[in-house]
C-alpha cells in the first residue's frame, strides 16, 4: 500500500513551471547582457582599469557612486556570476531539483535584501543630487522647485515599485517553501 506510489512523481504545479520559465527568460537575457558588458568593459578599459581621463571622473561623484565607478569591473563580474547562477537555479527549478529550489529561495532572499538596500542607497544618492552640479546657485528658483517636485515624485514611485517587487519576491519564496510545492521536489 505505502510502496505503490514509490517512484511516482507528484503532480507538477503551474506555479513552479511559470516561475521557472519567467526566471529562465530574465536570467538568460541578463546573462547575455552581463557577458557583453564584461567583454566591452574589458576591451575598452584593457587590463589596467579605467583610462586616466575617466579615472578622475570619480572625484565629481557622490562617495557611493565613486566607489561603484572605481570598482565597476568587479560589479560587472558579480552581475555576470549572479545572472548565471540564477539561470542555473531556474533551470533546476523547472526540472524539480530540490537543490535548485533551495538555491532559488536563497537568491530571492538575497534579491529582497538587495532591493531594500537599494531603497536606502536611493535616498543617499537623491540627497546628494542637488549639490552635484551646484544647482542651488546656477538654477533659477522656479526651475529648482519644479525639479524638486519631480525628484520627490520619482523617489516615491521608485520606492513603491521596489516595495511591490519585494512583496512579489516574498510571495514566491513563501510559495516555494510551502509543503505542497516541496512535495514536487522530493
Secondary structure, 3-state, 2-29: CCCCCCCCCCCCHHHHHHHHHHHHHHHH
pLDDT, tens digit, for every residue of 94-144?
999 999 999 999 999 999 999 999 888 887 776 665 554 455 566 677 777
Q: Is the pLDDT of residue 68 over 50?
A: yes
Q: Is residue 77, in this structure, part of any structural domain at all?
A: yes
Q: Is residue 172, in this structure, part of any structural domain at all?
A: yes
**pTM listed for this prediction:** 0.77
pLDDT band of residue 30 (cuts 50, 70, 90) is very high
* Residue appearing with cell numbers 521596489: 162
Q: Is residue 1, in this structure, part of any structural domain at all?
A: no
Q: Is residue 123, in this structure, part of any structural domain at all?
A: yes
Q: Is residue 4, in this structure, part of any structural domain at all?
A: no
Q: Is residue 104, in this structure, part of any structural domain at all?
A: yes
pLDDT at 149: 82
Question: Count of domains in the chain?
Answer: 1
Q: Which domain holds residue 90?
A: 14-184
Distance CA 110, CA 114 (A): 6
Q: Is residue 121, in this structure, part of any structural domain at all?
A: yes
Burial category of 31 from C-beta neighbours within 10 Å (exposed 0-12, middle 13-18, buried 19 and up): buried
158 in helix, strand or coil?
helix
When pLDDT is averaged across residues 44-70 and rounded to a whole number, the result is 68
Q: What is the mean pLDDT of the chain?
A: 84
Grid coordinates representing 25 are 527568460
Q: Is residue 7, in this structure, part of any structural domain at all?
A: no
pLDDT at 69: 76
Of 45, 22, 43, 41, nearest to 33 by C-alpha is 41
Percent of the chain with pLDDT over 90: 52
Burial category of 86 from C-beta neighbours within 10 Å (exposed 0-12, middle 13-18, buried 19 and up): buried
* Residue appearing with cell numbers 517587487: 165
Amino acid at each position: 500500500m505505502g510502496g505503490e506510489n514509490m517512484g511516482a512523481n507528484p503532480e507538477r504545479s503551474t506555479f513552479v513551471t511559470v516561475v521557472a520559465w519567467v526566471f529562465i527568460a530574465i536570467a538568460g537575457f541578463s546573462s547575455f547582457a552581463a557577458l557583453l558588458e564584461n567583454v566591452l568593459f574589458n576591451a575598452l578599459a584593457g587590463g589596467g582599469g579605467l583610462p586616466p581621463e575617466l579615472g578622475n571622473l570619480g572625484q565629481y561623484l557622490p562617495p557611493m557612486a565613486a566607489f561603484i565607478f572605481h570598482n565597476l569591473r568587479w560589479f560587472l563580474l558579480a552581475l555576470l556570476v549572479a545572472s548565471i547562477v540564477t539561470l542555473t537555479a531556474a533551470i533546476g527549478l523547472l526540472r524539480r531539483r530540490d537543490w535548485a529550489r533551495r538555491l532559488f529561495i536563497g537568491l530571492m532572499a538575497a534579491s529582497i535584501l538587495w532591493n531594500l538596500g537599494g531603497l536606502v542607497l536611493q535616498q543617499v544618492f537623491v540627497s546628494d543630487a542637488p549639490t552635484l552640479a551646484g544647482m542651488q546657485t546656477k538654477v533659477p528658483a522656479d526651475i529648482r522647485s519644479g525639479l524638486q517636485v519631480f525628484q520627490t515624485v520619482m523617489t516615491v514611485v521608485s520606492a513603491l515599485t521596489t516595495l511591490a517587487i519585494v512583496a512579489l519576491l516574498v510571495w514566491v519564496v513563501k510559495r516555494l517553501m510551502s509543503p505542497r510545492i516541496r512535495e514536487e521536489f522530493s
